Amino acid sequence: MIEQTDLAASFTLPGTSKAVNRMGYGAMQLAGRDGDKFVWGPPRDVEQAIAVLREAIASGVNHIDTSDYYGPHVTNQIIRKALFPYPDELVIVTKVGARRGPDGSWIPANSGEDLTAAIHDNLRNLGLDVLDVVNLRSMLSIHGPGEGSIEAPLTALAQLQQKGLVRHIGLSNVTATQIAQARQIAPIVCVQNMYNLVQRTDDALIDDLARNDIAYVPFFPLGGFSPLQSAALTDIAARIDATPMQVALAWLLQRSPNILLIPGTSSVQHLRENLKASSLELTSEVVSELDEIGRTTNNQ
* pLDDT tens-digit readout, 129-138: 999 999 999 9
- As a whole number of Å, the CA-based R_g of the chain is 18
Domain ranges of the chain: 20-225+257-265
Rounded to an integer, the average pLDDT of 207-216 is 98
Q: Is the pLDDT reported for residue 267 higher than 90?
A: yes
**Could you tell me which CATH number the domain at 20-225+257-265 has?**
3.20.20.100
pLDDT for 3 beyond 80: no
Query: Cis (ω within 30 of 0) for the bond into 72?
Result: yes
Cβ(79)–Cβ(53) below 8 Å: yes
Give the pLDDT confidence of 144-177 residue by residue, as tens digits. Answer: 899 999 999 999 999 999 999 999 999 999 999 9
Q: What is the pLDDT of residue 1?
A: 41
Average pLDDT over residues 255-259: 97
**Plot region of 220 (φ>0 → left; ψ -120 to 50 → alpha; else → beta):** left
224 pLDDT higher than 60: no
CA dihedral 279, 220, 55, 70 (to 10 degrees): 160
pLDDT the model gives residue 226: 54
Question: Mean per-residue pLDDT for 112-120?
Answer: 98
What does pLDDT average to over the chain?
A: 93
pTM: 0.95
**Residues above pLDDT 90, as percent of the chain:** 86
Residues 47-62 pLDDT 10s: 999 999 999 999 999 9
Give the model's pLDDT for residue 2.
47
What length is written for the chain?
300
Spell out the SS3 assignment of the chain: CCCCCCCCCEEECCCCCCEEECECEECHHHCCCECCECCECCCCCHHHHHHHHHHHHHCCCCEEECCCCCECCHHHHHHHHHHCCCCCCCEEEEEECEEECCCCCEEECCCHHHHHHHHHHHHHHHCCCCEEEEEEECCCCCCCCCCCCCHHHHHHHHHHHHCCCEEEEEEECCCHHHHHHHHCCCCEEEEECECCCCCCCCHHHHHHHHHCCCEECCECCCCCCCCCCCHHHHHHHHHCCCCHHHHHHHHHHHHCCCECECCECCCHHHHHHHHHHHHCCCCHHHHHHHHHHHHHHHCC
**Catalytic amino acids?**
70
